[in-house]
C-alpha cells in the first residue's frame, strides 16, 4: 500500500529482486504493529501548559486548538478544569468550538475531579495515577488496592456519562510489572476506551518500551496510548517502537513542550512516521501547516525553533559537503529520507564553502545559465575552495567568482598571461570587503 518514495523506482528497475519497497517501513514481523494505523493525542494545551514558559491566554488557547484541529490531530487534550477557574472556562470554550478533533481533559483519578470534568462538554476524560514505588511513597502515598478501587469508581462514573475514558499509570517504567498488569486488566474489563503507559521521567529506552507494550497487548483488549518524556532524548524513538509493539495512540505536543524538556514532539514524530508510511501520514495530517503551527506555539511560549529541529530547523534540508551535494543533485533520495516539498519547504545546497565539490558548483553554473566544461567547473571549484579557506564565502562571492571565471575563459583575449593573477586579484578584492 505504501507508495515508493521518489527515486526508488529507478533502482528497483535495475535490480528489482533485491530491493524491498521501503526498507525502513513497518517491520512485516510485527503483526500487531500500528505504525500504519496510529492516532495522535495532542497535548500542547495540557502537557505543554506545564512547560516553564507557557502562559496561554484564552484567545491563544482557542487559536492553538483551531490550528491543531486544522492540522488533523485526532484528539486535543486540555489541562484539568480543576486546576483553576480559568482552566475550566477555557476547557468549556474549546469544547464549544465544534472541532473535528475529539476534546479530552486530563485529571487525577479522583471523583472530585471527575465530577467537574464530565460537566465541561469534553468528549473524553484521561485519568492518571502514579503506580511506581516512588510516586506511591512520595506523591500520593496510596497502595495498589486503594488505587484500584478509586480507579473503578472514577471509570464507572465517567462511563455512565457516555464519554470516553482512558486510565493511565504514571511512571510506568518504574512500576512493578505485576501491579501494572493487574490494574490494566481490571480497568480493561470495566471497559475503558484505552489504557496509557507513561514514561513520566524520560528514562525508558526503545527495547524496554517494545517489551512492555507487547506484554500489555496480551493482557488488555482496548487500545494502548503512550506518553514519553524526552529527558534522555528517546521520546520519538520510544513512540515509534511503541507503535511497532501494538500501541495505537501517541501523546505529542508542538515542539515537544512540557514538563522539563518535554515530550514526543509532533513535528519530529511526523518525520519518523512519514519515513515509515508516507501515504498514511499524508492522508491524515496537513504537513504543510506544520511550520506555521510550530511558529504559533513558539511565539506563544517565547522560544525559538531549535536550529536542529526535525523538518523545520533551519538546516534540516541543507546539504553542505561536496560529496553529498553531488549525489543530492543527481537524486535527492541519496541523502534525504524526507521530501521537503511534503512540508511545503525547499531544499538548499550549500556550496559556498571549502568542502564544496565541483558538482555543486556545476549546478550553480547551470542555474546562472553559464556554459563551462566539466574541466572548467573543476578549475573554478578549486579557486573557490582556496578562497573558502581564508574566509566564509556567501552566495554572492561564489557567483562573482564563477562569473569572473566565465568571462575570463570565454574572452581569451582578455586573459592575463598567468591564470593565477585573476585569482589573486579576486582574492584581493574579497579580502578588501568587510568580513
Candidate residues 173, 351, 358, 405; the one interacting with a second copy per rule CB under 8 A:
173
Q: 57: how many CB neighbours lie within 10 A of its CB? A: 11
Candidate residues 2, 11, 181, 378; the one interacting with a second copy per rule CB under 8 A:
11
272 binds a second copy (CB under 8 A): yes
Judged by CB under 8 A, the stretch of 19-27, 152-160, 214-222, 417-425 that binds a second copy is: 19-27
- Complex with a second copy: residue 306 or 419, whichever CB lies closer: 306
State in angstroms the smallest separation of the CB of 171 from a second copy. Answer: 8
Candidate residues 91, 276, 361, 409; the one interacting with a second copy per rule CB under 8 A:
276
What string marks each residue from 97 to 116 as x (binds a second copy by CB under 8 A) or -? Answer: -----------x--------
139 binds a second copy (CB under 8 A): yes
As a three-state string, the secondary structure of 3-65 is CCCCCHHHHHHHCHHHCCCCCCCCCCCCCCCCCCCCEEEECCCCHHHHCCCCCCCHHHHHHHH
- Complex with a second copy: residue 148 or 381, whichever CB lies closer: 381
The CA distance from 410 to 405, in Å, is: 8
Kindly provide the b/e burial profile for residues 190-208, where b requires at least 16 CB atoms within 10 angstroms of the residue's own CB. Answer: eebbbbbbbbbbbebebee
Judged by CB under 8 A, the stretch of 155-163, 183-191, 200-208, 370-378 that binds a second copy is: 200-208
State in angstroms the smallest separation of the CB of 253 from a second copy. Answer: 11
Candidate residues 16, 23, 98, 412; the one interacting with a second copy per rule CB under 8 A:
23
- Complex with a second copy: residue 33 or 193, whichever CB lies closer: 33
157 binds a second copy (CB under 8 A): no
Please answer whether residues 251 and 223 qualify as being in contact, where contact means their C-beta atoms are separated by less than 8 angstroms: no
DSSP-derived secondary structure letter, 79: -
State in angstroms the smallest separation of the CB of 112 from a second copy. Answer: 14
Judged by CB under 8 A, the stretch of 117-125, 134-142, 277-285, 418-426 that binds a second copy is: 134-142
Type and span of the H or E element at 226: strand 223-228
Give Rg (Cα) of the chain.
27
Using CB under 8 A, count the residues that bind a second copy: 106
Residue 180: φ, ψ to 5°: -60, -50
262 binds a second copy (CB under 8 A): yes
- Complex with a second copy: residue 96 or 386, whichever CB lies closer: 386
207 binds a second copy (CB under 8 A): yes
The CA distance from 268 to 184, in Å, is: 29
> Does residue 315 sit in helix, strand or coil?
coil
The CA distance from 200 to 88, in Å, is: 24
Residue 141 CB-density burial (10 A; 0-12 exposed, 13-18 middle, 19+ buried): exposed
Residue with cell 477557574: 85
222 binds a second copy (CB under 8 A): no
- Complex with a second copy: residue 19 or 152, whichever CB lies closer: 19
42 binds a second copy (CB under 8 A): no
Give the HSE-up count for residue 50: Cα atoms under 13 Å, Cβ half-sphere: 19
Q: Which of 324, 350, 406, 426 is catalytic?
A: 324
Residues 6+ apart with CB under 8 A from 24: 275, 276, 337
The CA distance from 329 to 342, in Å, is: 18
State in angstroms the smallest separation of the CB of 108 from a second copy. Answer: 7
Candidate residues 45, 64, 83, 377; the one interacting with a second copy per rule CB under 8 A:
83
Residues in 308-367 at the binding interface with a second copy, rule: CB under 8 A: 308-310, 313-321, 323-324, 326-327, 330-331, 333-338, 348, 350, 353-355
> Does residue 137 sit in helix, strand or coil?
helix
Cell numbers given for 93? 470554550
Candidate residues 51, 280, 343, 351; the one interacting with a second copy per rule CB under 8 A:
51
Give the HSE-up count for residue 37: Cα atoms under 13 Å, Cβ half-sphere: 13
State in angstroms the smallest separation of the CB of 51 from a second copy. Answer: 7
Q: Is 324 a catalytic residue?
A: yes
What string marks each residue from 54 to 73 as x (binds a second copy by CB under 8 A) or -? Answer: -x------------------
Give Dmax (Cα) for the chain.
95
15 binds a second copy (CB under 8 A): yes
Judged by CB under 8 A, the stretch of 190-198, 365-373, 387-395, 406-414 that binds a second copy is: 387-395
The CA distance from 72 to 283, in Å, is: 10
- Complex with a second copy: residue 282 or 323, whichever CB lies closer: 323
Q: Which residues are catalytic?
A: 324
Amino acid at each position: 500500500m505504501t507508495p515508493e518514495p521518489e527515486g526508488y523506482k529507478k533502482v528497483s528497475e535495475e535490480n528489482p529482486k533485491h530491493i524491498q519497497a521501503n526498507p525502513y517501513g513497518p517491520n512485516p514481523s510485527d503483526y500487531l504493529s500500528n505504525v500504519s494505523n496510529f492516532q495522535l493525542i495532542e497535548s500542547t494545551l495540557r502537557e505543554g501548559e506545564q512547560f516553564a514558559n507557557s502562559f496561554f491566554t484564552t484567545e491563544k488557547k482557542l487559536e492553538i486548538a483551531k490550528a491543531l484541529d486544522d492540522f488533523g490531530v485526532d484528539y486535543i487534550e486540555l489541562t484539568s478544569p480543576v486546576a483553576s477557574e480559568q482552566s475550566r472556562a477555557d476547557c468549556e470554550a474549546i469544547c464549544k468550538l465544534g472541532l473535528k478533533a475529539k476534546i479530552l481533559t486530563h485529571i487525577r483519578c479522583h471523583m472530585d475531579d471527575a465530577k467537574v470534568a464530565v460537566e465541561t462538554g469534553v468528549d473524553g476524560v484521561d485519568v492518571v495515577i502514579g503506580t511506581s514505588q516512588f510516586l506511591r511513597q512520595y506523591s500520593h502515598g496510596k497502595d495498589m488496592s486503594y488505587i484500584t478501587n478509586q480507579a473503578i469508581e472514577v471509570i464507572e462514573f465517567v462511563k455512565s456519562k457516555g464519554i470516553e475514558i482512558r486510565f493511565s499509570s504514571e511512571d510506568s517504567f518504574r512500576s512493578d510489572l505485576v501491579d501494572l498488569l493487574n490494574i490494566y486488566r481490571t480497568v480493561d474489563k470495566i471497559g475503558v476506551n484505552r489504557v496509557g503507559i507513561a514514561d513520566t521521567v524520560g528514562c525508558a529506552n526503545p527495547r524496554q518500551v517494545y517489551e512492555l507494550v507487547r506484554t500489555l497487548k496480551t493482557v488488555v483488549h482496548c487500545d494502548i496510548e503512550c506518553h514519553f518524556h524526552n529527558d534522555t532524548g528517546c521520546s520519538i524513538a520510544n513512540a515509534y517502537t511503541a507503535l511497532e509493539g501494538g500501541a495505537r495512540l501517541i501523546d505529542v505536543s508542538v515542539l515537544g513542550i512540557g514538563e522539563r524538556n518535554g515530550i514526543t514532539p509532533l513535528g519530529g514524530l511526523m518525520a519518523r512516521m512519514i519515513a515509515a508510511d508516507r501515504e498514511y501520514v499524508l492522508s491524515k495530517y496537513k504537513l504543510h501547516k506544520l511550520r506555521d503551527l510550530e511558529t504559533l506555539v513558539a511565539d506563544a511560549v517565547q522560544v525559538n525553533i531549535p536550529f536542529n529541529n526535525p523538518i523545520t530547523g533551519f538546516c534540516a534540508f541543507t546539504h553542505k559537503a561536496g560529496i553529498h551535494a553531488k549525489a543530492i543533485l543527481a537524486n535527492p533520495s541519496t541523502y534525504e529520507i524526507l521530501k521537503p516539498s511534503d512540508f511545503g519547504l525547499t531544499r538548499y545546497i550549500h556550496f559556498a564553502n571549502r568542502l564544496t565539490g565541483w558538482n555543486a558548483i556545476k549546478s550553480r553554473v547551470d542555474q546562472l545559465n553559464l556554459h563551462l566544461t566539466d574541466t572548467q567547473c573543476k578549475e573554478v571549484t578549486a579557486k573557490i575552495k582556496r578562497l573558502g579557506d581564508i574566509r566564509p564565502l556567501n552566495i554572492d562571492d561564489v557567483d562573482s567568482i564563477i562569473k569572473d571565471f566565465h568571462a575570463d575563459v570565454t574572452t581569451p583575449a582578455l586573459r592575463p598571461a598567468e591564470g593565477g593573477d585573476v585569482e589573486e586579484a579576486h582574492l584581493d578584492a574579497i579580502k578588501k570587503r568587510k568580513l
